[in-house]
Structure 1
Amino acid sequence: MSDWHSIWLQPAAPDLERLEATVNRLAEQFGTPRFAPHLTLVEDMQRTAQDLAGVLDRNFAGETAFSAAVTTIHGLPQFFRSLYAGFEPAGRLKHLKARAVEAFGTGSVDTFMPHISLAYGVTAEQRASVFAALEREFSGETIRFDAVAVISSAQSVPIENWQVVHTLRLG
């Protein structure tokens, strides 16, 4: 296992199932990777899982589950942001990002772009072919987040090797 880790907000079971179905459908359609849907708070830290789990538990204890509305379906040229459901960087999402930046000592609230990827590595043409349907499916919908987790993951770690190593349930 790698010493590279990220911190993710995880969707609650009903929303996770819906998002997984979308990721799997798009992966099948476009031949792109399958992955666990999530919202990244901090990415690519070269620190041990044990260290990060302690920081997570100390700094996020007492946080509660919440819902956030999807405000956009969008895509960018970057592999990991090629097609996603976006959220406003406000409210609880902004609060948890600020807490994560302070606790883990990395990242920026100013550049926070909260999103849940729906596909990795799709082209602009592929994105255009599903954009309208995804907007109908997700725009204005809310996603409930009920956990924060330490994940063995980084841009340098193969997606198929990503795994949850510690989870803190939000009350």
Structure 2
Amino acid sequence: MSVFIANETGESDVDEVTLAGLARFVLDAMKVNPLAELSIMIVETAAMTDLHVRYMGEDGPTDVLAFPQDEAFESSYADSADNDPATLLGDVVLCPEVAREQAVTAGHTTQRELHLLCTHGILHLLGYDHAEQAEEREMFRLQEDLLVRWEAAVALEAGAGSAGAPAGPASAG
């Protein structure tokens, strides 16, 4: 899986390597075709506000936006032939400043909030939504399950003697 990250904020406290590892983990756990490509953009509040107004018609910044590519959902799952061309799933746009504020309210780190938001955005690209109460329960349960599995895998890898911050496990297993 190819995960492209563009950090347009210049913030060095966003761990892009770990974020890419998480994205690969989520895509693998969701059985997305290994040739799939994902783009993650990290933007400042002003840019996120502009996107939020332009594409959602809502004022102010938001934490995450997902822009799926046409037909990506249907052709991205692993049961596709291995020789299928790479599929661009779409773009996930994250705003660290909003994530930082939400992390304080939620009582966890900004890094975990960014992981939660990235997972949330990827699930949107895969067709999950939370407009209805039942959809919300399913999406948020899956989101939390994926994050807990990711964190357990990273902790296991770190306990195995990996030096430095782990980039994440190679697969979801």
TM-score, normalisation: structure 2? 0.29
**Which protein is richer in strand relative to its size?**
1
TM-score, reference length from structure 1: 0.29
Pick the structure with more helix per residue.
Answer: 2
Task: Between the two structures, name the one with larger relative contact order (CA 8 Å, sep ≥ 6).
Answer: 1
